[in-house]
Amino acid sequence: MTTWAGRTAVEIADAVRREEVSPREVVADHLARIAEGDGRVGAFRVVRAEAALAEADAVGARADLAGLPLAGVPVAVKDNVPVRGESTRNGSAATSTEPAAADHVLVARLRAAGAVVVGLTHVPELCVFGTTDGVHGIARNPWDLTRTPGGSSGGSAAAVAAGFVPLALGNDGMGSLRIPAAHCGLVGLKPGSGRVPRELGGGWYGMSENGPLATTVADARLMFSVLAGEAAEDFGTRTAQSPGGAGPGGGGEGGVAQGAPASARLAVAFSIRSPIPGVRVGARYAALAREAARALARAGHEVTLAHPPYPLSFGTVVLAHWAGGTAQDAEGLDPRLLTPRTRRHVALGRFASRLGMLRSDHKAALNRRLEPFFTRYGVLITPALARRGPAADAWHERGWLANALVNTACSPMTPPWNLSGRPALAVPFGVLPTGLPGSVQLVGRPGSEHQLLDVAAQLEQLHPWERTAPLSGGATAPAQGPR
């Protein structure tokens, strides 16, 4: 008997379109895996078992089934994105329990493409921090259940890494897609500004973007194309391009394993320098990024050690925007129901606003500074993380400073690309001595999402990764109560 849980979205959608399997069978397989494993992983706040099966039947009955890009593909949605008929709790006791009256535009696009929403995933309160824990539960990294999956899209990343779903929707305001992707061995794409609808709270002063989490580059590309509203006929031509291929920003073809032809060679910058003064990248994480840079050089790209000109003030500016965005999201919420770390973060945001630190010109100033660098280099490769993720624990019960310090030490490499609005993605690469997946970050020019995916696909072919965590083995965690 074929088991569909653990298969890629591309494989599932193709089989459903060919009527080799029904959407109900696919969804039922994934629900069974969730029932078996999520008590240990804690990826989901809500599992929509009955509703998902009914939606799967509706997909199977659609007259346009043969043309659906995500036909019958189970997806998870981060719990700060409205799903019709479900409450959107955003990780907090202060948010409304009323069900959403309508889908977020991206949920509507996923459903229109044939996807089935099986559940809503855990987030830290108001999606502020880089660990996914709070009043609704603690999410764990399926590769090591004693560690966090990262945050704030940690529940979504855990769901994909555990094989509960092949795709999940998350968002990224300081690295909230790329950090969990890096911890969990996934591809996580933060699109550039304007490529995917945001329509999410205040958007953290333009820093937050919605994007996909997936186990393969082809799956991430497929989901991104749906989210971005790209034409369905483009999907098939964008699943296995080499750098410079058919996607935007490319031109030319070439075999990956044989090296990039001259027309597809990219000028790639490599850097392990932290954008935040005083925060260093650990040696093991730097070594993985060096090896990934060497792999691209061996494949024919021009790879140069070169560091983006991060301003000295960057750490202060991004902290102000991070806190200020949270203060916007907390408007109208009862502060007595927020955790102490969130209340302190909100207070910092309001203080930054009073000081005039949330000026709209910060993005433009950063991009003016970065422009010569990205004129010279088409792609930047860096470590995705600087340290191992913290323990999976009740970090929401600890103070703001403890959370801020551990988050910053672990993941200083992601925030510049939120403030600048440039596309960036995390892609698995290698294995750390701890046994956890390794990861690197790719950053590109505006509009270069498909080019970054092309480069990620090249790394995927040169250094394949294990896609799904073996939940039957490894560390165990206490079972969680009903959610």
Contacts of 403 (CB under 8 A, 6+ apart): 129, 131, 341, 395
> Mind listing the pLDDT tens digit for each residue in 251-275?
333 333 345 555 589 999 999 999 9
> Mind listing the pLDDT tens digit for each residue in 17-61?
999 999 999 999 999 999 999 999 999 999 999 999 999 999 999
Tokens of 368: 């003016």
The reported pLDDT for the residue numbered 235 is 55
Active site residues: 78, 152, 176
| pLDDT, the chain, mean | 92
Q: What count of Cα atoms within 13 Å lies in the side-chain half-sphere of residue 2? A: 10
Distance separating alpha carbons of residues 470 and 107, to the nearest angstrom: 29
> Residue 65 burial (CB < 10 Å; 0-12/13-18/19+)?
middle
Mean local confidence (pLDDT), 230-255: 45
The reported pLDDT for the residue numbered 246 is 35
Task: Walk me through the domains of the chain, giving residue ranges and CATH numbers.
Answer: 9-313+357-462 (3.90.1300.10)
> Mind listing the pLDDT tens digit for each residue in 351-372?
999 999 998 789 999 999 999 9
pLDDT bracket for residue 63 (50, 70, 90)? very high
Mean local confidence (pLDDT), 429-448: 97
Mean local confidence (pLDDT), 462-473: 89
pLDDT bracket for residue 472 (50, 70, 90)? low
Mean local confidence (pLDDT), 176-180: 98
Cβ distance 165 to 155 under 8 Å?
no
Distance separating alpha carbons of residues 320 and 357, to the nearest angstrom: 6
Share of the chain above pLDDT 70, in %: 90
> Mind listing the pLDDT tens digit for each residue in 65-124?
999 999 999 999 999 999 999 999 999 999 999 999 999 999 999 999 999 999 999 999
The reported pLDDT for the residue numbered 360 is 79
Question: Chain-centre distance of CA 288, in angstroms?
Answer: 20
Contacts of 75 (CB under 8 A, 6+ apart): 110, 115, 116, 117, 118, 165, 166, 167, 168, 169, 223
Q: What count of Cα atoms within 13 Å lies in the side-chain half-sphere of residue 289? A: 27
Query: Which neighbouring-strand residues pair with 147?
Result: 391
pLDDT bracket for residue 203 (50, 70, 90)? confident
